[in-house]
Amino acid sequence: PPLLEPILSVTYGCIVDQEQVMQIVRELGGYTLGRSDLVRRAMSKKKQKVMEQERRNFIYGNPEEGVPGCIAKGIGADVASHIYDTMMDFAKYAFNKSHAACYAVVAYQTAWLKYYYPTEFMAALMTSVIDFPNKVAGYILTCRSMGIKLLPPDINEGEAGFSVSGGAIRYGLTAIKGVGRPVIDAVIRERNERGPFRDLHDFLSRMILKDREVNKRVVENFIKAGALDCLGATRKQLMSVYMRMMDDLSSSKKNDMAGQMSLFDFADEEEKKDYIISMPDVGEYTKEMKLAFEKEVLGIYVSGHPLEDYMGIWKNHITNRVADFIPDEETGETVVNDGDRAVIGGMISAKKVKYTKNNKVMAFLDVEDMTGTMEVIVFPNTYEKEGAKLTEDGKVFLSGRVSLEEERDGKLICEKVTLFDEVPRKLWIRFEDPEAWKKGQKDLMEIINEHGGRDKVVIFIANPRLRKELPAGMGVRADESLIRKLADRFGSGNVVFT
């Protein structure tokens, strides 16, 4: 209506601040200045019920309270109701003019930074929520979608917070559990004063002999987080020797304080190497073990994710991510609504079985996906039918309805369970060119024959762009052992499930 033009023209027809709502209810509904302020206050306090009560007054008026209403001013009920719906929607996140103007400036600045300096912007954003692993996990997913690589923490290159390293983001050292800020500051100070740490013995000797607050738990958590990967040994090697090495250094320090000498003190630099504990030939932890350690000390996975090989099937079979069940920090709103039907997919990281008063079994699950962890409740009727599929570390799709409580993360009431391995899918194997396909064809066929099943196999040749779906008789059962074999032979980036 023309009545809205002078109110909204300055903001291109959009309601941007509470004062505009006050003007609308005065000009269209005939509200007094005082009554329009009551509407503004209801908005600022997020009082949706009060706003809804005013709808009838705004449209039809209230002669007893001196409100003419829109119809009395020649505005149809449908139009008035639509305008009020717009104001109600705005009320979910409404601010006064000065506040809205400040937010607009900040929004413009952050949009500019994200566009021109995406890596630096995301590093700063993740540093601001470094103590909240679920939020960091959501931003990591955003980084991946933007093509930004995430690197593990590193005592030689990392900083206290997330930092930029060669176009990638380096995980912040203060995010490692059980490692306080004084320890991180001491590590960075020692590194800046005397240069990078060369190996585990060099790191421990420089920190322990200088009373740098580094204990065994700190070192173990550094190893589990991947922060000592730069020291030229595998995590399994580091874990197998660090305690003995620290004990030797502590004994040496005590001897020095007591004025006692050892053979080590009489040796030259070359001879001293013979006294240092060498790294045993124990190989490296499995990918699953490394990820489990990262989750333990960082709260999230960094070097990969148990679901990364299933990204295609995961995206195609869910309606919502775990992050959709977590309330927004400022508005308290969730993407999902109470009672919505939803399908999530993820890994069961914890399971608690309980008995009801009727001695029936139900379960509470912690389910995690690429964006976080949430609770899923499985009542007795569903558990009786689907319980056998609910195992810890199992990868499942869970369908049911959303359950929301005020100021808490949302939950899913599970009604159906589908294992990832039960979902028909396609396995894509990528080869760079026909020559690479010829070289790898024999190995691929041997692996396929060992894992026969009903999942289809598609060969994709990147240059030139060619694709060929293998006959049904050459299908596979796409389980984790197959994924590992193919990734080891052809590279994890060349194996995709959809």
* Spatial contact of 401 and 340, defined as CB atoms under 8 Å apart: yes
| Three-state SS sequence of 411-437 | EEEEEEEEEHHHCCCEEEEEECCHHHH
The pLDDT assigned to 204 comes to 92
Per-residue pLDDT band at 421 (split at 50, 70, 90): confident
Q: Is the pTM of this model over 0.85?
A: no
Nearest of 139, 137, 128 to residue 374 by alpha carbon? 137
Distances (CA, A) of 61 to 35, 40, 52, 64, 444: 13, 18, 14, 9, 75
Distances (CA, A) of 177 to 174, 225, 289: 8, 9, 18
Q: State pLDDT tens for residues 334-360.
A: 899 999 999 999 999 999 999 999 999
406: Cβ contacts below 8 Å, ≥ 6 apart: none
Residue predicted with more confidence, 2 or 181: 181
pLDDT, mean over the chain: 88
Q: Which domains does the chain have, with CATH numbers?
A: 2-98 (no CATH), 126-275 (1.10.150), 308-421 (2.40.50.140), 426-497 (no CATH)
Q: State pLDDT tens for residues 105-138.
A: 999 999 999 999 999 999 999 999 998 887 888 8
Per-residue pLDDT band at 254 (split at 50, 70, 90): low
Q: State pLDDT tens for residues 172-221.
A: 999 999 998 999 999 999 999 999 999 999 999 888 876 667 889 999 99
**Dihedral angle sign, alpha carbons of residues 342, 348, 349, 351:** positive
Report the C-alpha gap between 306 and 483 in whole angstroms: 12
Report the C-alpha gap between 307 and 311 in whole angstroms: 6
Report the C-alpha gap between 335 and 325 in whole angstroms: 7
Please return the burial class of 120, using the count of CB atoms within 10 Å of its CB with bins 0-12, 13-18 and 19+.
Answer: middle
The pLDDT assigned to 273 comes to 54
The pLDDT assigned to 260 comes to 53
pLDDT at residue 232 tops 50 = yes
Give the whole-number percent of the chain exceeding pLDDT 90. 56
